[in-house]
Amino acid sequence: MEDPATLEALRVQLAPAIADAAAFDGWTSEAVAQAADMAGVDRDLAAYAFRDGQMAMIAAWTGHVDAQMAAAVPAASLSNLPVRERIRRLVMARLDAAAGREEALTRALAVMALPRNIAASARLGWRSADRMWHLAGDTATDYNHYTKRAILAGIYAATLQVFVRDSSDDKAETRAFLDRRIEGIMRFEKAKSQILRKPDERFSMTRLLGRIRYPAH
């Protein structure tokens, strides 16, 4: 029986080459075979490593992108930046890691959108969002832990759709779209914090009506 750790290392090794091949062959067994040939790996062993099919290939590539992002934007480099800038840099680092493989990414998004893959795709999105928030220094353990990751996963998914179609110089349209989405979320978070601040500071209709009826002298 193959060591699972060895198989995982093999998946990580082959993931970028599979993405390259997927631009022409799709996320198929042929892409795995092509990647194996490029890496000098036995085709049968590579096929076994990716025996779970397309989502296993895409998950391995997503893991590769996660690693590239962490290497490009280490947590220490973000510590003195505002939260919005941390997130912006991390998302752009992920997109930079996928740059040049837009066709493979387009095909991957189509596979991920299939009904049978929705749950697995959601898990991948959550994992990537969680990785970004950890690098950004997030330590929330309450409901904010979950809302932050759900919101960021949504932002990233929407930005990917723009990225794969963006032909502007230096992906300017993608960068502008991302900035708008992040700004919108920041405004929402600010409003939410005002609503959820400590009870004695919250807006109270009862208190307002009381003041109207019995104004202070």
What's the pLDDT score for residue 181?
A: 92
Tell me, yes or no, whether 188 and 157 share the same domain: yes
- Asked if residue 160 and residue 102 are part of one domain, the reply reads yes
Domain with residue 190: its CATH number is 1.10.357.10
pLDDT values of the chain reduced to their tens digit, one per residue, 217 residues: 456 568 999 999 999 999 999 999 999 999 999 999 999 999 999 999 999 999 999 999 999 999 999 999 999 999 999 999 999 999 999 999 999 999 999 999 999 999 999 999 999 999 999 999 999 999 888 888 999 999 999 999 999 999 999 999 999 999 999 999 988 777 756 655 555 555 554 445 455 455 555 555 5
On whether both 29 and 82 belong to a single domain, the answer is no
- Running DSSP on this structure, what letter comes out for residue 76? G
| Same domain, yes or no: 184 and 80 | yes
Domain match, 10 and 108 both: no
Domain that holds residue 26: 1-51
The reply to whether 11 and 86 lie within a common domain is no
Residues 164 and 57 in one domain: yes
* 214 found inside a domain: no
Distances (CA, A) of 195 to 32, 200, 203: 52, 11, 8
Alpha-carbon distance of 149 to 80, in angstroms, equals 21
In a domain, 116, yes or no: yes
How many Cβ atoms sit within 10 Å of the Cβ of residue 86?
A: 22
CA–CA distance, 60 with 55 (Å, rounded to integer): 8
Whole-prediction pTM value?
Answer: 0.83
**In total, how many domains does the chain have?**
2
d(CA 119, CA 60): 16
